[in-house]
A and B are shown apart, each in its own frame.
Chain A
């Protein structure tokens, strides 16, 4: 289960890609775009991680009908899946500071995440969480965000660890609300503390009445969370986020690759056989307006 090395997961371009990478790299978040490495011509389903239980079963006679976005029921899951993929790419685009998420292997409706707090009251906190997205997305309720360990915070349920998301998204509106906003909100609560209508009244009261005690409770809570950092993931999933102590044999190479990554894309594209052509001068709309000779590949 500890296939995912520390935090290198959230910059994956898409879940699909990750799946194919996962097969070859054993879960290392490899960033090269995968299509070129998949076998061409032959159509195939996304690869299944070695350690995952296959979750397809032979066609059954009964076809359960579920209408999601209207039209044909059998396409509903595709629309849902792509809506969530779109959400995920939006998250990537936002480059949320200190937040990493990754959809689970089993369902695009469940995302694993971790948030790093870099300053403020909760400084050095590393909080793992799970996002649950309703299956009638984007027409249903707003997604839930549940911390693995209930952080001591006025807006976090002290028992379930669920964050009060609904106060920020009273009604989930398609096209306006996106999952990255939920993640952003989860980050904000640790920097700007709100005590109205708390899920954890104790925390709210302490913050109002005795900040020092509140602070020490927070420090305790952060310590507790961090002490469970290397625990097995709460949910058994190949893509669940798990931490392990620094092991140079495992992590050094991955780290080097991450730092070397920025220099790579240029070389990457040279090798591909598909290359476009253009002799249009930038700013012109005339063909062959470039004055110099055609580019030499």
Chain B
């Protein structure tokens, strides 16, 4: 039977390739010893060719070529079973004669000749007017390449043999002087070779295969006309269309050089797809490129450490040197970067498909639950990852995917954004890591982010008195606000008190007219006609302030430039304040990108939730949202009643409970009405309530053994009937998603066992989650946190003095500037107890916000003339509170002023140390020219001292920003 196949294979060379089974060993008993053909060819080429062809005329080359080929043919024919007389007499004897061992000397002779003829082929130039050279023509006529391939098949087709063939083609493709791939007799055996390598596992063969594929892609990129041939040849083959692409897919997530080469090659094809609709269509509809890529991210993510070894307390984001130490993270970032690159270059169809798979296959099913894990450490780690991912992604479409996940996706009915904002106020490093995340978000200059975070609360202009609306756009021509901000400088930090080098003065002649010897005096400028003006005098300037002005100018002008793409000026007129309606946010990607997912029809059928179910869910959520957001705080009882009347619009139970306790708290002691209507921030109020509950807290702490695993649960305490119905619906959606995921996993396993193994991890994790959802009740348990701060008298409230709670869409009548601003100001107000690094982050973020040119935001933060509603707290108010506290400290503690000076020196030294490694978050503190004196050692525990120094510098920073705004924002942009 086998011999029959071989007959066929010899005639057209197909069958042997189609049968994926390895050829029987007995077929070629003797292993071919000696050097491999291609390695000889390759080495011959590297060491300088044995034949020097320069100046040799083509005819001679042709004669040599034909001679060598004739020798090869002799050997080939000698062993050609077709020509063997015993072909028809099948049996053991025939088998022996036909498949008899090819003598080693014959094999190496062939190799020798082949080395030479390939070299001749490679070195041949194009004929006239782009015609084939004579050698190439001969190669094609004689079908040399295919015969050589068959020859190598006839010998034992081992990995070594594949390697030889691959190297041979790699050399030809890479170095030939005329286009070879256009010719079927060359392309066909190549494709046969490639498809015979598709199941390969030997690392060397894989490396060589990927290298060859990479080279083929380079050729494709240079000469897209070859593309057609690749499609056609594959059709002839009956194998997968566009084989070189399919062969590359399994290597997408591979580590090391092989992975990198494969990704580079794929990128070449991606950019090809941008111009070639057919390639794009093929990739999007007939391959699993996008799902493999996206779910690969999930797989790689699952192998990331769930808890990070945090170097110190100050650590708050993953820097390069951090993630380089975590190989799994490096690999994840490689793949993410590849996704980014694909999205950058690929056709829009491919891009959209990939983006939707990343959303539905990675962000929603993997990252969202990871952001809601049960311990603070895990949540912090995920937050740090998310921040790093945001920094690593640059392509707008991919950024949009991540951002819409953060802004619009709801997990357990709470927007991810709200959860993240609420965490700013948590103690431990989670708070600072969350701050760092927001620093990155704000630094994107993204309108959508700023709209959700801040601007939507300012658009209705409820935060100010009605008469003040025009002030929003008013220009502070005379630096009044800057002066008011600087006037908050604590007396102990007055610029007049600080000696050099803490304060550098530069005298600048603020006068005009011709140079006069006596500069300090006011003088008269005589213009020769008797006209004189009394002007000017010499003034002394605080040089550090000049630096702040310079910095402010840079940050505002880059922000201005960036915001040119925004849809509205946010100036109190556009968008119009009176028409503002906080709509219900939905996830557009889930809806619109369905079509793309559906495009893949075979072999797996992807099921998506029916659109009707989606829409009903949306309506339910909408009603639910309205009810609990619009509920008036002033009469909480009424709200509760209302809810019993309308049970179908109840908020989730945990939120209800939270709010109830919070309201009780307010009635009891905490008097700031209309402040907490928010789902998420109510958590912190509950925490305060819990802090009274000492017994319970201590019990908890002893239970958990005060170990590292502080519980951080997420607040679903059972659910009522209505909620069951809803969660049922949700489950069906998530089931779908998991179904989808499971199918990817199967797919990946078939493609690449390595990634498949990793996917197992995701799966396991998914199951774990299910279990948790079923049995474990989740709640945000802040009681454990509060245990730590109980003893501290300096902290009246564990999470900042007056946490302003916010709502995602509150009724427009209640003045409120949003949870983010509230949390930020709360933490800022607590400056004196914050560690230095937290204050650096905080002030950095506020300065970042203040650099935004939108009049609504600018006026809210920097205009000290604006009159706000009594319940609205402004930045200026918070700063004034901090100043008052500092003045109290100065009076109370005699050594305070002295310590300030020490701290200034310490910070100055720190600043000059960090010249190269300066992190962007550190504002230009105290610049200096002379080397600073060695500072006295000072403990960072003196947070109030450092905070005071930072505070006075922060005032300068803000004042400088306010001053620059009065200029830069009014310079007419080029028409």
Contacts and interface: CB of A to CB of B under 8 A. Distances in A.
Interface string B456-495: 1001000000000000000101111011101101000011
A173 to B, nearest CB: 12
A235 interface: yes
B535 A107 contact: yes
Contact of B446 (A82, A262, A278): A278
A283 B748 CA distance: 44
B86 interface: no
Interface string B537-553: 11111110111011101
Nearest to B401: A294
B567 A109 contact: no
Interface in B515-543: 515, 519-520, 525, 527-531, 533, 535-543
Interface stretch (A119-127, A187-195, A220-228, A285-293): A285-293
Interface in A111-169: 130, 132, 134-135, 138, 144, 146, 148, 150, 157, 159-162
B404 A288 contact: yes
A40 interface: yes
Interface string B542-566: 1101110111011001110111111
Given A56-B506, A110-B513, A262-B975, A277 B478 contact: no
Contacts of B451: 280, 285, 287
Interface stretch (A85-93, A197-205, A252-260): A85-93
Contacts of B56: none
Interface stretch (A1-9, A64-72, A241-249): A64-72
B567 A74 contact: no
Given A75-B545, A107-B511, A278-B567, A287 B540 contact: no
B448 A72 contact: no
A287 B586 CA distance: 10
A86 B970 contact: yes
A277 B583 contact: no
A66 B539 contact: yes
A77 B541 contact: yes
B927 interface: yes
A83 B496 contact: no
B588 A288 contact: yes
Contact of A35 (B545, B554, B562, B580): B554
B311 interface: no
B510 A285 contact: no
Nearest to A70: B483
A287 B585 contact: yes
Contacts of B449: 287
Given A79-B482, A82-B963, A286-B583, A275 B562 contact: yes
B565 A44 contact: no
A202 B370 CA distance: 89
B500 interface: yes
A224 to B, nearest CB: 14
Contact of B487 (A70, A107, A285): A70
Given A83-B477, A236-B514, A276 B533 contact: no
B445 A277 contact: yes
Interface string B375-413: 000000000000000000000110110011001100000
Interface string B420-447: 0000000000000000000000001111
Given A14-B971, A72-B494, A80 B510 contact: yes
Contacts of A269: 561, 564
A106 interface: yes
Interface of A is mostly: loop
Contact of B529 (A86, A159, A265, A288): A159
Contact residue range for chain A?
35 or more
B558 A288 contact: no
Interface in B731-768: none
A174 interface: yes
B477 A276 contact: no
Contacts of A13: 971
Contacts of A35: 553-554, 557-558
A55 interface: yes
A288 B408 contact: yes
B816 to A, nearest CB: 16
Contacts of B967: 14, 82, 85-86, 89
Given A285-B580, A293-B397, A276 B529 contact: no
Interface of B is mostly: mixed
Contacts of B512: 104, 106-107, 109-110, 132, 237
A230 interface: no
B64 interface: no
Given A78-B479, A109-B512, A287-B404, A274 B445 contact: yes
Nearest to B480: A69
Given A135-B536, A278-B567, A293-B348, A159 B530 contact: yes
B236 interface: no
B496 A279 contact: no
A43 B505 contact: no
Contacts of B563: 276
Contacts of A264: 974
Given A107-B510, A285-B456, A59 B500 contact: yes
Contacts of A236: 514
B444 A277 contact: yes
B446 A281 contact: no
Nearest to A275: B562
B528 A234 contact: yes
A55 B400 contact: no
B690 interface: no
A55 B575 CA distance: 48
Given A55-B509, A71-B487, A138 B404 contact: no
A276 B562 contact: yes
A159 B535 CA distance: 21
A182 to B, nearest CB: 14
Contacts of A283: 567, 575
Contacts of A104: 512
Nearest to B969: A89
B303 interface: no
B972 interface: yes
Nearest to B558: A274
A274 B562 contact: yes
Contacts of A77: 508, 510, 539, 541
The 10 A-B pairs at the shortest CB distance, nearest first, are namely A276-B562, A287-B448, A107-B512, A160-B531, A278-B447, A276-B445, A265-B974, A110-B512, A43-B547, A277-B446
Interface of A: 13-14, 16, 31, 33, 35, 40-41, 43-45, 53, 55-60, 63-64, 66, 69-72, 74-80, 82-83, 85-87, 89-90, 92-93, 104, 106-107, 109-110, 130, 132, 134-135, 138, 144, 146, 148, 150, 157, 159-162, 174-175, 234-237, 262, 264-265, 268-269, 272, 274-288, 293-297
Given A59-B504, A138-B477, A175-B478, 19 more contacts: A13-B971, A56-B508, A57-B507, A59-B500, A64-B520, A66-B537, A69-B479, A72-B494, A75-B483, A79-B478, A110-B512, A132-B535, A134-B535, A150-B529, A235-B525, A264-B974, A285-B583, A287-B449, A294-B399
Interface of B: 348, 351-352, 396-397, 399-400, 403-404, 407-408, 444-449, 451-452, 456, 459, 475, 477-480, 482-484, 486-487, 489, 494-496, 500, 504-515, 519-520, 525, 527-531, 533, 535-543, 545-547, 549-551, 553-554, 557-559, 561-568, 575, 580-583, 585, 588, 918, 924, 927, 959, 963, 966-967, 970-975
17 contacts: A31-B974, A35-B554, A56-B508, A66-B539, A74-B540, A74-B545, A79-B963, A82-B967, A86-B475, A106-B509, A107-B509, A157-B531, A234-B527, A274-B559, A287-B448, A287-B449, A288-B408
